Chains A and B, each alone.
Chain A
Amino acid sequence: MLKVLDSAVPVACWSCSIGHNDFTLFCPNCSKIQPPPGGDYFSVFSMKPRLNLDLAALEAEFHRLSRKLHPDRFARALENEKQWSLADTALLNDAYRTLKDPLRRTGYLLKLEGAEVGEEHSGKNRVDPSRVPADLLEEVFELNMQLEEMRAARKMGEEDPELQASLTQAKKKFQALLEAVDKDLRAEWTAWDEGNEVARGIAQDKMVALLDRRRYLSNLLRDVNETLGD
């Protein structure tokens, strides 16, 4: 059943009306649970935005907060506390899911900083021809031809070992390109984390381009894998 949740954010603590609950999950005065605070995913973990994260520490903090916020802990609480526990835990889970994954984390931070980040494509046209990185044009066209031939051969129930080998070769090549992108991304993370405003601006632009390239390559690889039946 669908129902409407109230997500209005009061300023003073609903319980003691002394503590202010901006950006905190619990009232600093009386420790009662509060409605979801404004603020970004990093602030849920009491962090400033950054890209190099200690994942073990992030997980430990996720578990610590889960123990305090989870609806299981509020099964016998007041109705409003139940609702906030639900909303706060959803926020915590959304934040953890986004921050623990390197690519989601990068995309999220770039959006926070106001960058235009491409969306994951769904549907049949996952590999958008207009977004082919210029330096890969020739290879991508050849690969797409081979993929088409392979699919046609499969449809006829034929095996073409030569084509198969050539595709496997191409797969390895694109895999290496993907790894190179990941390496470049990590370098930009550090540049962003440690840089001043100017350096961050430059790193952001590079990361947007790298994410685009990475998305393109990984979609391509997915197509190759599906066609090869791996």
Chain B
Amino acid sequence: MQGDAPVVIPGADGLNLVPSVVALDPIPAGGGRPTVTVGNSARKALIQTPERVIYSVKRLMGRSLEEIQTELKLFPFHLAADPNAGQPDPNEVPRIQLGELRFTPPEISAYILRQLKRNAERFFSAPVTQAVITVPAYFNDAQRQATKDAGRMAGLEVLRLVNEPTAAALAYGLDRGNEGTIAVYDLGGGTFDISILKLREGIFEVLSTNGDTHLGGDDIDNLLMAVALNEIHAEHGVDLRLHPGAVQAVRKAAIEAKILLSTETMARFDIELPNGDRYQREIPREVFELLIEPVLARTAGPCKQALADAGITPEQIDEVVLVGGSTRIPAVRQLVDDLFHLAARGKKPHVELNPDEVVALGAAVQADILSGASKSTEEMLLLDVTPLSLGIEALGGTVARIIQRNSTVPASATEHFTTGVDGQTNVAIHVVQGERELAADCRSLARFDLKGIPPMSAGLPRIEVKFLIDADGILHVSAREQRSGQAAQIEVKPTYGLTDQQVESMILDSFDNAEADFAKRLLIEARNEAETILAAVERAPRSPAWAQLTSDEQKAISLASDYLNKVKLTENSGAIREATLILDHATRRFAELMMDAAVSSALRGKTMDSAGEELDEAVTAPHAMAPAEFK
């Protein structure tokens, strides 16, 4: 938060978005464990070493081995081979093979979170230990738990999981004093959510939510890719599907075409094939819209269900907020317009905030609410709901629902169980989440035994089991036997997800937690930045742009670089960063001249890429990063 407004912290590359791409770098020459790269720089590795890269890991979070199989057909990742080949344990968390190593989805996710944590620490020049993390509203208990585990592995205490559409509503509602009923339509890369909220005097009460945790921009990319791959196979006789790197090149082209089609009526595929042929094709927007229509149509059902569950008609929706990169697609906006009768009522959906950033802004608002320290959010309170009904498997495999979907959380239910046989000391309970009639069709959350029941005649023990869904949407279970009078707590064991010990062993590094280590890392980073800009300055006189500087400017640069050369030897990371910023400032005009030169050389026929590389080399200065504001 800066003042009353949340801001997005840029990454080391100066960009606000850190794509959820994680790459395993090659094993270092001297051996040892390879390092992990996250974000835009990992993206480059997708084409070169696709077997070492994973993206959209969110789609794999908290999913069972069985659920993940269908998902993996569409993605280039591979499950790690089972070490004890033969029967895989269905309760075991699946592991993804990246290069030589294997990772659980929460571990991959933890690498992304650690990167974000580091970006924030650079920004604040202080350790960051707590976080509010957003999740798709339609995430089930297992997916939420996996997300929390990832936070812990990244060295973060997760204060709250906030549902993404709700976070977006918070971001929009912050300074508006809005009253009324709003719908948030959130179509992101891998997930779709719809939430309906009532805003009143700072209370954001979610009335209903629905969605699909595997529906999003990835599906659109896959459709476009399939067109290209099929046509390439048919017309050029090349099956690119056998070349993972080439598939990723096609994927990149598909994404670029998709993005272009949001503003243009025509996009082109122009892909060089391994045999030197070119695959070229025009994609008119109408063709694209026909192609993706089935994907978009899948968002209509959840919207209608959410309206029905909230007990309102489309006309009663006062505002619609669009969230997620995929809502930039005109056909998506048209669909939303149709669903909520917007144009007919002279309304337009809200798109003022960047749909890729609005959720993060809302999470910052929620963090501010939790800190309880800020005037601007003190009247705000979020009342969210559980997206899925909670049930217990009853006789015959049917589900007895104990907490209905769209119940405000925290929510609880108390059930009583007894024994069927004399002297029985265990009772098995199977907890599921979902809307289907049969337990087998729902997501199994936990099977546990109520153990240690005092031996009594059948039907006599009265075991009270309390189910509680907390404000994060995560289930807690406690049980006690009432009849024996000893009211002993009964042990409850989960049978899914990672155990506490497993999470503990996967914590990325204690490095992040220790104060001294933190200072050391800041120093290393500050020195790296200093070295980068000093190297660029050293090359500067060889550049034609150097001659265009006045002698005063040249002198200022050499003074600043001398100063930085001295300061960088101290242990004071703050002073090094300051000296770096001074040099950065002194070289700003030089960087601009270099930029102009690179652009004009690009215009003279060089490709943008090589111009970009020159830019990278010459203008490497620490990205312009606003100094942190402290209150």
Binding site for B on A (CB under 8 A): 1-5, 7, 63, 66-67, 70-73, 75-76, 86-87, 89-91, 93-94, 96-97, 122-124
Q: Which of B371, B396, B477, B493 contacts A75 (CB 8 A)?
A: B371
Kindly state the separation between the CA atoms of A123 and B437 in the bound complex, as whole angstroms. 5
Select the stretch in B50-58, B88-96, B267-275, B405-413 that faces chain A: B405-413
Kindly state the separation between the CA atoms of A1 and B239 in the bound complex, as whole angstroms. 45
Least Cβ–Cβ distance between B498 and chain A, in angstroms: 9
Residues in A neighbouring B476, C-beta threshold 8 A: 2-5
Q: Which of B203, B366, B371, B474 contacts A66 (CB 8 A)?
A: B203
Residues in B neighbouring A5, C-beta threshold 8 A: 466, 468, 476, 478
Residues in A neighbouring B370, C-beta threshold 8 A: 72, 75-76
A122 and B398 contact, Cβ closer than 8 Å, known pairs A3-B476, A4-B489: yes
Q: Which of B488-538 contact A (CB under 8 A)?
A: 489, 492-494, 497, 500
Query: Across the interface, do A122 and B471 meet the contact criterion of CB distance under 8 Å?
Result: no
Query: Across the interface, do B407 and A93 meet the contact criterion of CB distance under 8 Å?
Result: yes
Query: Across the interface, do B492 and A4 meet the contact criterion of CB distance under 8 Å?
Result: yes
Residues in B neighbouring A70, C-beta threshold 8 A: 381, 383, 471
Least Cβ–Cβ distance between A83 and chain B, in angstroms: 10
Binding site for A on B (CB under 8 A): 145, 159-160, 200-201, 203, 205, 366, 369-372, 381-383, 396, 398-401, 407-413, 437, 446, 448, 466, 468-471, 474-479, 489, 492-494, 497, 500
Query: Across the interface, do A71 and B471 meet the contact criterion of CB distance under 8 Å?
Result: yes
A-B contact list, 7 entries, CB within 8 Å:
A1-B474, A1-B494, A2-B477, A73-B372, A76-B371, A97-B407, A97-B408
Residues in B neighbouring A75, C-beta threshold 8 A: 159-160, 370-372
B398 nearest in chain A by CB position = A123
Q: Which of B159, B203, B410 contacts A63 (CB 8 A)?
A: B203
Query: Across the interface, do B448 and A2 meet the contact criterion of CB distance under 8 Å?
Result: yes
Sorted nearest first, the 4 A-B pairs with minimum C-beta distance are A90-B410, A123-B398, A90-B412, A75-B370
Determine the main DSSP class of A at the interface with B.
helix
* A to B contact number (C-beta, < 8 Å): 97
B412 nearest in chain A by CB position = A90
Kindly state the separation between the CA atoms of A93 and B385 in the bound complex, as whole angstroms. 10
B487 nearest in chain A by CB position = A8
A73 nearest in chain B by CB position = B372
Kindly state the separation between the CA atoms of A5 and B479 in the bound complex, as whole angstroms. 9
Query: Across the interface, do A122 and B201 meet the contact criterion of CB distance under 8 Å?
Result: no
Residues in A neighbouring B205, C-beta threshold 8 A: 63
Kindly state the separation between the CA atoms of A96 and B409 in the bound complex, as whole angstroms. 12
B203 nearest in chain A by CB position = A63
Residues in B neighbouring A93, C-beta threshold 8 A: 407-411
- Seed contacts A4-B489, A72-B160, A123-B396; 5 additional CB < 8 Å A-B pairs: A1-B500, A2-B448, A93-B407, A122-B437, A123-B437
Residues in B neighbouring A97, C-beta threshold 8 A: 407-408, 411
Least Cβ–Cβ distance between B87 and chain A, in angstroms: 26
Kindly state the separation between the CA atoms of A76 and B398 in the bound complex, as whole angstroms. 42
Query: Across the interface, do A71 and B398 meet the contact criterion of CB distance under 8 Å?
Result: no
B410 nearest in chain A by CB position = A90
Residues in A neighbouring B411, C-beta threshold 8 A: 90, 93-94, 97
Q: Which of B382, B448, B489, B500 contacts A72 (CB 8 A)?
A: B382
Least Cβ–Cβ distance between A173 and chain B, in angstroms: 23
Query: Across the interface, do B470 and A91 meet the contact criterion of CB distance under 8 Å?
Result: no
A36 nearest in chain B by CB position = B412
Q: Which of B470, B477, B479 contacts A71 (CB 8 A)?
A: B470
Kindly state the separation between the CA atoms of A4 and B490 in the bound complex, as whole angstroms. 9
B445 nearest in chain A by CB position = A2
Kindly state the separation between the CA atoms of A96 and B203 in the bound complex, as whole angstroms. 15
Query: Across the interface, do A96 and B471 meet the contact criterion of CB distance under 8 Å?
Result: no
Kindly state the separation between the CA atoms of A73 and B379 in the bound complex, as whole angstroms. 11
Kindly state the separation between the CA atoms of A46 and B448 in the bound complex, as whole angstroms. 38
Least Cβ–Cβ distance between B159 and chain A, in angstroms: 6
Least Cβ–Cβ distance between A213 and chain B, in angstroms: 22
Query: Across the interface, do A86 and B471 meet the contact criterion of CB distance under 8 Å?
Result: yes
Kindly state the separation between the CA atoms of A96 and B408 in the bound complex, as whole angstroms. 9
Residues in A neighbouring B492, C-beta threshold 8 A: 2, 4
A91 nearest in chain B by CB position = B412
Least Cβ–Cβ distance between A160 and chain B, in angstroms: 27
Kindly state the separation between the CA atoms of A123 and B393 in the bound complex, as whole angstroms. 11
Least Cβ–Cβ distance between A43 and chain B, in angstroms: 17
Residues in B neighbouring A2, C-beta threshold 8 A: 446, 448, 475-477, 492-494
Kindly state the separation between the CA atoms of A57 and B448 in the bound complex, as whole angstroms. 42
Query: Across the interface, do B497 and A1 meet the contact criterion of CB distance under 8 Å?
Result: yes
Residues in B neighbouring A4, C-beta threshold 8 A: 476-479, 489, 492
A124 nearest in chain B by CB position = B437
Residues in A neighbouring B500, C-beta threshold 8 A: 1
Query: Across the interface, do B200 and A63 meet the contact criterion of CB distance under 8 Å?
Result: yes
Query: Across the interface, do B203 and A86 meet the contact criterion of CB distance under 8 Å?
Result: no
Least Cβ–Cβ distance between A169 and chain B, in angstroms: 24
Residues in B neighbouring A76, C-beta threshold 8 A: 370-372
Residues in A neighbouring B489, C-beta threshold 8 A: 4
Query: Across the interface, do A7 and B371 meet the contact criterion of CB distance under 8 Å?
Result: no
Residues in B neighbouring A91, C-beta threshold 8 A: 412
Kindly state the separation between the CA atoms of A124 and B475 in the bound complex, as whole angstroms. 27
Query: Across the interface, do B383 and A71 meet the contact criterion of CB distance under 8 Å?
Result: no
Residues in A neighbouring B408, C-beta threshold 8 A: 93, 96-97
Least Cβ–Cβ distance between B427 and chain A, in angstroms: 16
A89 and B410 contact, Cβ closer than 8 Å, known pairs A1-B500, A72-B160, A123-B437: yes
Query: Across the interface, do A72 and B471 meet the contact criterion of CB distance under 8 Å?
Result: yes
Which of A1, A87, A124 has its CB near the most chain B CB atoms (within 10 A)? A1
Least Cβ–Cβ distance between B362 and chain A, in angstroms: 14
Residues in A neighbouring B477, C-beta threshold 8 A: 2, 4
Which of A4, A70, A97 has its CB near the most chain B CB atoms (within 10 A)? A4
Kindly state the separation between the CA atoms of A90 and B390 in the bound complex, as whole angstroms. 15
Residues in A neighbouring B201, C-beta threshold 8 A: 63
Least Cβ–Cβ distance between B631 and chain A, in angstroms: 17
Query: Across the interface, do B412 and A94 meet the contact criterion of CB distance under 8 Å?
Result: yes
A86 and B470 contact, Cβ closer than 8 Å, known pairs A2-B446, A122-B437: yes
Least Cβ–Cβ distance between B198 and chain A, in angstroms: 9
Residues in A neighbouring B401, C-beta threshold 8 A: 122
Kindly state the separation between the CA atoms of A70 and B370 in the bound complex, as whole angstroms. 11
Residues in A neighbouring B494, C-beta threshold 8 A: 1-2
Query: Across the interface, do B381 and A66 meet the contact criterion of CB distance under 8 Å?
Result: yes
A87 and B468 contact, Cβ closer than 8 Å, known pairs A7-B478, A66-B203, A123-B398: yes
Residues in B neighbouring A86, C-beta threshold 8 A: 410, 468, 470-471
B413 nearest in chain A by CB position = A94
Least Cβ–Cβ distance between A62 and chain B, in angstroms: 9
Residues in B neighbouring A7, C-beta threshold 8 A: 466, 478
Kindly state the separation between the CA atoms of A63 and B383 in the bound complex, as whole angstroms. 9
Kindly state the separation between the CA atoms of A122 and B159 in the bound complex, as whole angstroms. 37
Kindly state the separation between the CA atoms of A2 and B494 in the bound complex, as whole angstroms. 6
Kindly state the separation between the CA atoms of A71 and B369 in the bound complex, as whole angstroms. 11
Which of A70, A75, A87, A90 has its CB near the most chain B CB atoms (within 10 A)? A90
Kindly state the separation between the CA atoms of A93 and B413 in the bound complex, as whole angstroms. 11
Kindly state the separation between the CA atoms of A195 and B396 in the bound complex, as whole angstroms. 44
Kindly state the separation between the CA atoms of A71 and B372 in the bound complex, as whole angstroms. 12
Residues in A neighbouring B396, C-beta threshold 8 A: 123
A1 and B381 contact, Cβ closer than 8 Å, known pairs A70-B471, A122-B398: no
Residues in A neighbouring B400, C-beta threshold 8 A: 122
Residues in B neighbouring A124, C-beta threshold 8 A: 437
